[in-house]
Chains A and B, each alone.
Chain A
Amino acid sequence: MRNLYRLLPVLMLALAVSSCQTQPQSDAVEATTGTIGVTLLTMTHPFFQNLAAGLEEAAGEHNMAVTVNSAEFDVARQRNQIADFIVQGVDAIVMSPADSKAIVTAIQEANEAGIPVFTADIAALADGVEIVTHIATDNYSGGRLAAEAVLEIAEEAAEIAIIDHPEVESVIQRTKGFHDVINEANTNGKAIEVVAQLPGGGIKDRAFRVAEDILQAHPNLDVIFAINDDTALGAVAAIEKAGKSGTVQVVGFDGTAEARRAILEGKIYADVIQHPHQIGIMTVESIVSYMNGDDLPPEQLIPATLYRQADAAADPILQEEAASE
């Protein structure tokens, strides 16, 4: 009996932990010019962490409040988060859909509530939804850049593999651009064969296992194109384990800090780097323009760039790290 009374304050304490950090936020809301509700695909990925940082930074400059939620790949959870944003009456919703198609009903609900929806990095692919603008990396040309990096390594004939993640639209664009360049090269006399294209889920441990299988099955493999950096790092680990460092090269995508270090050390040949921070800033700027009544194009693409060992050697981020160590 008495124990029960003692436990209730503990519960309230646990809840207080969750509320104390929000108190200043809700006070701040009144002084700002708007609130932005954000739900991203995941926050366990450096890409989205950088994107969120860009959003928060730019929102701070424009005196707006941001709430960043993460769907962690669960589209139903993302739908709930959007429903909660609608109830809160946020001024804009920014999302990276966990499923480009299943998110439709949630976007429609936001449309019905008159809240403008912006998509960042991942587009919503369906009719009957109104998206103010989509801000993303130009993944197709990014995929082309990756293939050009592969062509730098490959000789006249080469065996290459792709570790894929075909559930995600941006990755489909990357592999499409990649295949287009390889096919163009083959019609121009090269003999580059894609011997394997397997899904690695975009995460390190699964990519590691898939890469191991690919290395087993294709002993003459020359290059692996990994559709993101976690996949690339998983592939590097498998190559090191198989004792094939140097004989099998990796081309990655994203440009996370860990991958940049691997490029500096020569473990990854090159990365197509995206600029997620830039995407975040651009998104907030689009929201501000929307609120000013400016017209916005339906899609705004931010170009990707190639990043090789020489770039890593000159990278201020890596030099800072080296200096602090």
Chain B
Amino acid sequence: MSLSKLLSDYGMLIVLILLCVFYSITTLDEQNPRGVDAAEQVTQMILDGYNTQDRIVVVSKSNPEHVLFANTLLEELESSGYQNVEHIEGEPPEVRSAFEQFDSLGVRADAVAIPQDYSTIIGNIKNRIPVMSQAQIVAPRSYRWPTFLLANNLRNVANQIVVIAIIAVGMTMVIITAGIDLSVGSLIAFSAVVAAWIIREMGGADATLGVMVLASVIAILMCGLVGFASGITITKFKVPPFIATLAVMLVASGFAYIISKGESIYEIPDSYVWLGRGADLFSIPNAVVLMVIIYVLAHILMTRTTLGRYIYAVGGNPEAARLSGIRVNLVLLFVYTMCGIMAGLGGIVQASQLKSGAPTYGLLYELYVIAAVVVGGTSLQGGEGKISGTLIGAFIIAVIQNGMNLTGVESYTQKVVLGFVILLAVLLDMLKKRSWGGKKKTVAAG
């Protein structure tokens, strides 16, 4: 009994964990130590194998990780008394010409110290230059670890789902009221384009922080207004949500194309990527922190407040809710406005990640958002669902996509698998209700 309760409450969480385990096993691969770790390992190898008079050539590219490697290694070698150390920094052609210069001067090297991911290329080049061919490559040893579980990749997974996960909060509320909002994908584009356009008109690449914040807030509020308008159409004119938001989807997308003239707007200051690419708190991406805050607030709203209970009540049985004194229309207006605001925020995150606004953003995202909500266990018939479930649903989608990218599954197959997972989630939900739903409403309610 307790096991079945566990499965019914945490079924999708278990699926998520199984997915993570699955991809951890299938992406087990050789990993290269990086930065300081790599430098320390190489230092040890040089200390063990070479004396202080030997000529050591340190080779690196100019990207931050390689620079960190090279600088640490150079310092360590110097403090250990190595006097014949030289550093070559650059792309393969530059390294090659440096080696060729050694050749013409007739100076040989004893060791080439290098980060693992550059060793094959430099090894190839070295072997073709006579004076260098005697030199040994000294690179850190690789170790076996799942690519999926690399810190960088876990950050990737979270970062890649942020936009969809944020919007899914609003969508969860809408779906709990037995509605739907198809306009969120277009609102991503609309919000991104509006914000980018305002920034371009008010200073472009030299715009101030104030302008960027203002532009983003205006874009989000405009999306909230669009959501409010959808809500009015649905409550006052009794247009079914599917139709009302379908119309808004086309209008918002059209405006995004009109404002941007069909092109991406990219005249934006570099600092605009703070939200999408920055990572200030324990190297957790800022957008992920924002997402967590939103989920916590939404969870409190849905579980601890009167408004939250009203939202469930409206979805469960609107007539009963009305008779018990709930102002159903106000609740509906709230959820559609909220969904618009969340879509606007999603658009800002997207614009920040890509440092530009384009009308092509958010294509078909409404479907991914709805999928996240449904996989998370929210019923399309309304009245049921959890914010935490939606987060799990979003992560299931993110892990599958990321895992398939890592294992090299082509895009077509990805779609098929994703489709099956959504179907499976719904089936699981149905079975759950059939097995334990005796006391509650049955499946046929919808």
Give the B-binding residues of A (Cβ under 8 A).
1, 3-4, 7-8, 10-12, 14-15, 17-19, 21-22, 25-26, 33-34, 43, 67-70, 72-76, 79-81, 83-84, 86-89, 91, 98-106, 109, 111-114, 116, 126, 128, 132, 166-167, 199, 290-296
Q: In the complex, which residues 395-435 of chain B have their Cβ closer than 8 Å to any Cβ of chain A?
A: 401-402, 404-414, 417, 420-421, 424, 427-428, 431-432, 435
Q: Do A4 and B7 touch across chains, with their CB atoms under 8 A apart?
A: yes
The verdict on B18 contacting chain A, using a C-beta distance below 8 Å, is yes
Kindly provide the distance from the CB of A49 to the nearest chain B CB, expressed in whole angstroms: 12
Q: Do B417 and A80 touch across chains, with their CB atoms under 8 A apart?
A: no
- Give the A-B pair count, Cβ closer than 8 A: 188
The verdict on B160 contacting chain A, using a C-beta distance below 8 Å, is yes
Kindly provide the distance from the CB of A119 to the nearest chain B CB, expressed in whole angstroms: 16
Q: Do B163 and A76 touch across chains, with their CB atoms under 8 A apart?
A: yes
Q: Do B147 and A87 touch across chains, with their CB atoms under 8 A apart?
A: yes
The verdict on B277 contacting chain A, using a C-beta distance below 8 Å, is yes
Q: Do A290 and B356 touch across chains, with their CB atoms under 8 A apart?
A: no
The verdict on B26 contacting chain A, using a C-beta distance below 8 Å, is yes
Q: In the complex, which residues 102-130 of chain B have their Cβ closer than 8 Å to any Cβ of chain A?
A: 117-118, 120-121, 124-125, 128
Q: Which residues of A contact B91 (CB under 8 A)?
A: 116, 132, 290
Cα distance A91–B417 when bound, in Å?
28
Q: Which residues of A contact B32 (CB under 8 A)?
A: 89
Q: Given the interface contacts A14-B420, A80-B156, A114-B118, does A7 sit within 8 Å of B63 by beta carbon?
A: no
Q: Do A84 and B156 touch across chains, with their CB atoms under 8 A apart?
A: yes
Kindly provide the distance from the CB of A29 to the nearest chain B CB, expressed in whole angstroms: 8
Using CB atoms, name the residue of chain A closest to B66.
Answer: A114
Q: Given the interface contacts A76-B353, A114-B65, does A34 sit within 8 Å of B407 by beta carbon?
A: no
Stretch from B221-229, B262-270, B297-305 contacting the other chain: B262-270
Cα distance A68–B427 when bound, in Å?
33
How many residues of B sit at the interface, in one of the four size bands? 35 or more
Q: Do A69 and B417 touch across chains, with their CB atoms under 8 A apart?
A: no
Cα distance A10–B423 when bound, in Å?
12
Kindly provide the distance from the CB of B56 to the nearest chain A CB, expressed in whole angstroms: 20
Q: In the complex, which residues 147-173 of chain B have their Cβ closer than 8 Å to any Cβ of chain A?
A: 147, 150, 152-153, 156, 159-160, 163
Stretch from B38-46, B322-330, B358-366, B376-384 contacting the other chain: B358-366
Binding site secondary structure of chain B: helix
Q: Do A67 and B124 touch across chains, with their CB atoms under 8 A apart?
A: no
Q: Given the interface contacts A3-B435, A17-B417, A105-B273, does A88 sit within 8 Å of B356 by beta carbon?
A: no
Q: In the complex, which residues 1-18 of chain B have their Cβ closer than 8 Å to any Cβ of chain A?
A: 3-4, 7, 11, 15, 18
Q: Do B363 and A74 touch across chains, with their CB atoms under 8 A apart?
A: yes
Task: From B26, B92, B152, B262, give the contact of A292 (CB < 8 A).
Answer: B92
Cα distance A18–B264 when bound, in Å?
35
Q: Given the interface contacts A88-B406, A102-B266, A199-B262, does A114 sit within 8 Å of B156 by beta carbon?
A: no
Cα distance A67–B66 when bound, in Å?
25
Using CB atoms, name the residue of chain A closest to B357.
Answer: A102
Kindly provide the distance from the CB of B122 to the nearest chain A CB, expressed in whole angstroms: 8
Kindly provide the distance from the CB of A124 to the nearest chain B CB, expressed in whole angstroms: 11
Q: Which residues of A contact B401 (CB under 8 A)?
A: 80
Kindly provide the distance from the CB of B4 to the nearest chain A CB, expressed in whole angstroms: 5
Cα distance A3–B4 when bound, in Å?
11
Q: Do B358 and A102 touch across chains, with their CB atoms under 8 A apart?
A: yes
Kindly provide the distance from the CB of A10 to the nearest chain B CB, expressed in whole angstroms: 7
Can you spell out 16 A-B residue pairs with CB atoms less than 8 angstroms apart? A3-B435, A7-B428, A10-B424, A18-B414, A26-B408, A43-B410, A70-B410, A75-B361, A76-B353, A80-B405, A84-B156, A87-B153, A99-B360, A102-B355, A167-B262, A292-B125
Cα distance A18–B420 when bound, in Å?
12
Cα distance A158–B86 when bound, in Å?
69
The verdict on B19 contacting chain A, using a C-beta distance below 8 Å, is yes
Using CB atoms, name the residue of chain B closest to A13.
Answer: B420
Q: Which residues of B contact A25 (CB under 8 A)?
A: 408
Q: Do A101 and B428 touch across chains, with their CB atoms under 8 A apart?
A: no
Using CB atoms, name the residue of chain B closest to A291.
Answer: B121
Q: Do B18 and A12 touch across chains, with their CB atoms under 8 A apart?
A: yes
Using CB atoms, name the residue of chain A closest to B8.
Answer: A4
Q: Which residues of B contact A109 (CB under 8 A)?
A: 277
Q: Which residues of A contact B66 (CB under 8 A)?
A: 114
Q: Do A33 and B120 touch across chains, with their CB atoms under 8 A apart?
A: yes
Q: Which residues of B contact A103 (CB under 8 A)?
A: 354
Kindly provide the distance from the CB of B142 to the nearest chain A CB, expressed in whole angstroms: 10
Q: Which residues of B contact A102 (CB under 8 A)?
A: 264, 266, 354-356, 358
Kindly provide the distance from the CB of B264 to the nearest chain A CB, expressed in whole angstroms: 5
Cα distance A109–B124 when bound, in Å?
26
Q: 5 nearest interchain CB pairs?
A: A293-B96, A114-B63, A293-B92, A84-B405, A101-B266
Greatest chain B CB density within 10 A among A3, A26, A114, A132 is at A114
